[in-house]
Amino acid sequence: MIKKMMLSAILICSISNIFGQKAEIKSVQYVNTEILVPGNYTAQDEYSIESDFFSAQWLYLSKEMVEQGIEKEIIRQFEDQLKYSKTSAVSFVSNGGYFTGKQYELRRGNNFKFKVLAFGVVDKQPLILNLGFKAVPKTDGKSDDLMKIFIQWE
């Protein structure tokens, strides 16, 4: 039942993206935080933001989906689509919530060299984060302010 609901939601989003008008998105909502899209970033929809060096996409999950372990299946499906050479476990804080997941070193031909897929909860909202990095994700605090909303290394 949940898988059918997920597929329906994905189909609806795809159709609205195809037929909907593309207006410039000036802000996105990351759980309870409104993020103004900086000049060097773009937002294709209300669940993503991207620049030449960083991207973030987030997928909200219901409590029922988490109780059924759907987050593991979604992350596995994302992972199956990646072409990577190395992985490592990661944990970090995103907008005050604790996340765990994996960092992937992607093979050539991708816009971003590294990807982080993780699950966590922000303001009682479970979600999956899909983060892309042009260079090795920095653990030394050398991230821009927008990146720090999405990932702060422990």
Mind listing the pLDDT tens digit for each residue in 79-137? Answer: 888 888 899 999 999 999 999 999 999 987 668 899 999 999 999 999 999 999 998 88
- In which band, very low, low, confident or very high, does the pLDDT at 68 lie, cut at 50, 70 and 90? very high
* Token pair listed for 99: 């996340």
Cα–Cα distances in Å, from 117 out to 15, 23, 26, 74? 25, 28, 25, 10
- In which band, very low, low, confident or very high, does the pLDDT at 23 lie, cut at 50, 70 and 90? low
